[in-house]
Amino acid sequence: MRRNKTQRKREFETHPLALVGHPHVAGRWREFLGADAPLVLELGCGKGDFLLQYARSFPQSWLLGLDVKKERLWKAATRAAAEGLSRVRLLRENILILEQVFGPQELDEIWITFPDPYPKKAHEDRRLTAAHFLAAYRRLLRSGGRVHFKTDNAELFEYSLMNIRSGPTRILSLSDDLHANPWLEPKAYFETAYERRFRAEGLPIRYVCFEFL
């Protein structure tokens, strides 16, 4: 049976892999999930293409996908459940309250995959690599934790590198054309749906991985 949008949204709210609204476990995620394992967060996970690839390759990690669209999250949750990827959780939440959802030094990795570039200067504070977001990531990551950022947008990438380099950070991997550089760590090549589309259009994928000092 083909489900309409309303049905998918409603079903997501009761899905066993779904977390709707603020779960009030900031600082206690490993206790809440029931295992002391790496905690990996993808911002704007959409239908879960990247997240599920990661979960298949690193079954010992907890994979958390955050998005505001229930319909997309329903798809990700349904796919993860069908494959038995029991360490995937989907959060319907706004990134603006990220520090209410997670506690200090709680995350091991943050993945920012093809966010809206918000090209207008007036919208700069909405870019997920703006200085105030980077400051939040620093507080949420464990010592040695990493941020991974992927985009097709050259202007956003340069803006992001400027902000990253202006803080106490160390760049670990950097590429202006990710898929032309096959020597980076395998997880860098896990693709989102946007990434496949951009590659089909001949656009280079830009990638940076960094840690805070």
**How far apart (Å, rounded) are the C-alpha atoms in residues 114 and 90?**
18
> Which residues are CB-contacts of 28 (< 8 A; sequence separation ≥ 6)?
103
> Which residues are CB-contacts of 8 (< 8 A; sequence separation ≥ 6)?
70, 71, 74, 75
175 φ, ψ (degrees, to nearest 5):
-150, 135
> Which residues are CB-contacts of 125 (< 8 A; sequence separation ≥ 6)?
132
Among 36, 49, 108, 116, the active-site one is 116
Cα angle: 192, vertex 26, 42; to 5 degrees: 5
What is the four-CA torsion angle of 69, 70, 71, 72, rounded to 10 degrees? 60
Phi/psi zone of residue 16: left (φ > 0), alpha (ψ -120 to 50 degrees), beta? Answer: alpha
Q: Which residue has the tokens 């994979």?
A: 63
36 is annotated as an active-site residue: no
Q: What is the DSSP string of 80-102?
A: HHHTT-TTEEEEE--GGGHHHHS
Q: Tell me the catalytic residues.
A: 116
